[in-house]
Amino acid sequence: MRFGTIAARLTATIGISLAALAGLASNAQAQNRNCVDTLMGLDGGSRFAGVLALTHVAEDIKGAGYFTIFAPTDAAIGAASFLADRIFPMQSGSQRQPDPVLGPAAVNAHILDGRYTSASLKPGETVTTRTRAGNQITVTNQEGKVTITGYGGATATVVRADIPCANGVIHVIDHVLIRDR
């Protein structure tokens, strides 16, 4: 019986160790991919990654430097239909092309230069900073709930924090940081 108990403990220990290694491997894999590629692989983050690519902002943030990206969920982008006509106005026929000024500005309103994890903001702290678009945003940690107030008073809550990538960190938010006029 004693051998059975030792074998069971050893099996459990090996199982836990393998699970931990698998978690480390997936975390390391995410850290080896840039933020754009990491976004593409996120469940519910592909629409923002697509907008990054269409507005050519993806090319900028794949390069040198560190970035913090507040990535709206696919549902948040879908709910912000007012942005589609402004960022992707109709061209000839039924083609939509990104506006060369408004498209990148709208996307960059969700990106900060530098890598800022949730540990950067202590509970009860509020920080005001500027995005890559030059917009002022306010980030508040109220009892562990992190909210961002962006352009025109648009407010979003971080629903998933600290997704690592090789050149920064991604925080998934529940709304876009631009308000309809």
Per-residue confidence band for 90, with pLDDT thresholds at 50, 70 and 90: low
The reply to whether 68 and 111 lie within a common domain is yes
pLDDT at 92 (0 to 100): 65
pLDDT of residue 99: 80
pLDDT of residue 18: 38
In this structure, is residue 162 part of a structural domain? yes
Average pLDDT over residues 149-159: 94
Q: What is the DSSP string of 150-163?
A: -BTT-EEEEEEEEE
In a domain, 103, yes or no: yes
Q: Is residue 106 part of a domain?
A: yes
Residue 98 has pLDDT above 80, yes or no: no
- What does the DSSP assignment read for 10-77? HHHHHHHHHHHHHHHHHHHHHHHS-HHHHHHHSTT-HHHHHHHHHTTHHHHHHSSS-EEEEEE-HHHH
pTM: 0.80
Q: Return d(Cα 123, Cα 142) in angstroms, integer.
A: 6
More reliable by pLDDT, 68 or 46: 68
Range of the domain at 2: 1-32
Number of domains in the chain: 2
Q: Is 179 inside any structural domain?
A: no
Q: What is the C-alpha to C-alpha distance for residues 99 and 102, in angstroms, rounded to an integer?
A: 5
Average pLDDT, integer, range 26-52: 82
At 145, list the tokens: 């709930």
In a domain, 110, yes or no: yes
88/23: higher pLDDT: 88
Q: Say if residue 16 is in the same domain as residue 59.
A: no
Candidates 160, 123, 117, 159; CA nearest to 143 is 123
| pLDDT reading at 25 higher than 60 | no
DSSP label at 119? G
User: Averaged over 73-83, what is the pLDDT?
Assistant: 87
Say if CB 148 and CB 135 are below 8 A apart: no
Q: Is the same domain home to 74 and 38?
A: yes
**Rounded CA gap, 61 and 68, in Å?**
10
Does residue 78 share a domain with residue 53?
A: yes
Residues 115 and 152 in one domain: yes
Q: How confident is the model at residue 9 (pLDDT cuts 50, 70, 90)?
A: very low
| Angle formed at CA 52 by CA 162 and CA 173, multiple of 5 degrees | 35
Q: What is the pLDDT of residue 152?
A: 87
In this structure, the answer to whether residues 150 and 164 fall within a common structural domain is yes
pLDDT for 81 equals: 79
> Which residue did the predictor score with more confidence, 48 or 6?
48
Q: Where residue 146 sits, what CATH number does that domain have? A: 2.30.180.10
Residues 16 and 82 in one domain: no
Pair 15, 38 in one domain: no
132 and 157 housed in the same domain: yes
Same domain for 168 and 115: yes
> Do 28 and 38 have their domain in common?
no
Q: Give domain status of residue 178, yes or no.
A: no
Q: Based on the fold, state whether residues 73 and 22 are members of the same structural domain.
A: no
